[in-house]
Amino acid sequence: MAQQKKQDEKQVSAEGSAKKEVGIKFIELLLRGRKGAPLVIHAFAEKAKQEIRDKQGKKAKRVKEARNPQEESDAARYVDEKGRECAPITAIKKSIISAATAFDDLTKVAIRQSIFVDCLANPGSPLVPIELYDGRPAKGVMREDAVTIGVNTRGLTYRPEYREWQLRVRIEYNSRMVSEEQLLALVDQAGWGVGICEGRPERTSALGWGRFERIIA
């Protein structure tokens, strides 16, 4: 028993030393939507997934039903197990990675390998709850937009919009690859020039949606 205890202590010590050597640190941030930059979400609806499955399975086409804008908008939301409307956590990491192009001493590959973005309220979740500025859960409002489908086809899309929004995240980073100062600069650039989700500045539509500023939580 005594020998086993010593081995366990050595293992714990080794794991702790390894983590310390790697230099993993973390910072908690509040990302708040900028004025005039709504967050517009468009999740891949289950109905659209089923249509693709039917097509791949060579099933007979169903008669198209009359469109229900509110149902389409609701289906485009991300909702977690507690019923909170959310944004995908991957959108934030992708935004930070894209921001690396604005820096001479950072690369997208290095940033992709050196940071991990997580939901502060529910670690490990692929979704981060959308809040109002006072911390209450945000509720999306349906918006209608004209979009181009394919090359020359025009259509209408219905998605939830959040005019007042903020996200709470925890970012783990390898301090041997990126410093806290560099990380915060990346987050600032991501919020200013990249944005998240639909209509963000880096997209060809460049509508300026999804821009944010960071606040240390």
Residue 23 lies in a domain: no
- Tell me the pLDDT band of 47, cut-offs 50, 70 and 90: low
Helices (H), the chain: 2-22, 46-56, 69-75, 89-99, 108-114, 180-189
The pLDDT of residue 12 is 44
Residue 5 domain-assigned?
no
Helices and strands (DSSP H and E) totals, the chain: 6, 10
Give the predicted TM-score (pTM) of the model. 0.81
Q: How many CA atoms lie within 13 A of 79 on its CB side?
A: 13
pLDDT attached to residue 11? 52
Query: Rounded CA gap, 14 and 8, in Å?
Result: 10
Read off the amino acid at residue 130. I
Q: Determine, yes or no, domain membership for 113.
A: yes
Check residues 72 and 54 and name the one with the higher pLDDT. 72
- Start-to-end CA span in the chain (Å): 45
Q: Is the dihedral of CA 118, 115, 168, 41 positive or negative?
A: negative
Note whether residue 24 is domain-resident: no
Asked whether 48 and 67 are in contact (CB, 8 A), the reply is no
Report whether pLDDT(8) > 60: no
Q: Decide if 193 is inside a domain.
A: yes
pLDDT confidence of residue 61: 67
Domain extent at residue 183: 31-216
| Two structure tokens written together for 8 | 């366990």
Asked, for residue 176, whether it belongs to a domain, the answer is: yes
- Split into its structural domains, the chain has a count of 1
Mean pLDDT of the chain: 86
Residue 191 lies in a domain: yes
Identity at 203, one-letter amino acid code: R
pLDDT beyond 90 at 13: no
Residue 6 domain flag? no
Assign 190 a pLDDT band (cuts: 50, 70, 90). very high
Token pair, residue 196, equals: 């998240």
State yes or no: pLDDT of 150 exceeds 50.
yes
Q: In terms of Cα–Cα distance, which of 1, 20, 3, 25 is closest to 175? A: 25
Output the pLDDT for position 148: 79
* Confidence label for 203 from pLDDT (cuts 50, 70 and 90): confident
